[in-house]
Amino acid sequence: MGDEEILDVIVVGAGPAGLACAGEAAGAGLQVIVLERGDVAGGKNLSGGRLYLEPVKDLCADLLKDAPFERPVVSETVCLCDERSSLSFRLDQPTGNSVTVLRARLDKHLANRATAKGAMVLPQQRADELVMPAGRVTGVKVGPEVLKARVVVAADGVLSFLAQQAGLRPARETHTYAVGFKEIIQLDAAVIEDRFNLPKGQGAARLYMGAVTGGLPGGGFIYTNRDSLSVGLVVQLGAVRKWRSESHLFDLLEEFKQRSDIAPLLAGGQTAEYGAHLIPEGGFGALPSPGIPGLLLAGDAAGFVLNTGPVLRGMDLALTSGVLAGRSIVAGLKARQPETCLQIYRQALKQSFIMKQMRAHKKAPIVLSSDRLYRRLPEQMVNWATDFFRVGPKGSHPRMRQAFKGLRRSLGFRGLQDLWRLMRM
Partner 1 sequence: MKVEDKVALCAIKQHAESHIQLDTSLCEKCPTKICIRACPAHLYTLEQNEVKVDHSGCLECGTCLVVCILGAVSWNYPQGGFGIRYRHG
Query: Smallest gap, in angstroms, from Cβ of residue 38 to partner 1?
Result: 6
**Shortest separation between residue 73's beta carbon and partner 1, angstroms:** 18
What is the nearest approach in angstroms of partner 1 to the Cβ of residue 269? 11
Q: How far is the CB of 45 from partner 1 (least distance, A)?
A: 5
Cβ nearer to partner 1, comparing 275 with 406:
275
Measured CA to CA, the distance from residue 219 to residue 85 in angstroms comes to: 15
CB atoms inside a 10 Å sphere around CB 123: 15
- In terms of CB distance, is 159 or 425 closer to partner 1? 159
What minimum distance in Å lies between the beta carbon of 7 and partner 1? 18
In 153-258, alpha helices (H): 161-165, 189-195, 237-241, 249-258
The three-class DSSP label of residue 51 is strand
Q: Which residues bind partner 1 (CB under 8 A)?
A: 37-40, 42-47, 49, 102-104, 107, 123-126, 142, 158-159, 161, 172, 174, 177, 179, 181, 183-184, 228, 237, 240-241, 243, 245, 247-250, 254, 271-278
What's the min distance (Å) between Cβ of 70 and partner 1?
A: 10
Q: How far is the CB of 384 from partner 1 (least distance, A)?
A: 33
**Residue among 281, 223, 216, 221 nearest 249 (CA):** 216
Check the CA dihedral 274-114-73-235 and report its sign: positive
Between 51 and 355, whose beta carbon lies closer to partner 1?
Answer: 51
∠ CA(129), CA(135), CA(318), 5° rounding?
60
Q: Which long-range contacts (CB under 8 A, 24 or more apart) does 221-226 make?
A: 221/48, 221/182, 222/262, 222/265, 223/48, 223/49, 223/50, 223/70, 223/73, 223/100, 224/70, 224/71, 224/100, 224/192, 224/196, 224/198, 225/70, 225/71, 225/100, 225/102, 225/184, 226/70, 226/71, 226/189
Q: Smaller CB distance to partner 1: residue 203 or 326?
A: 203
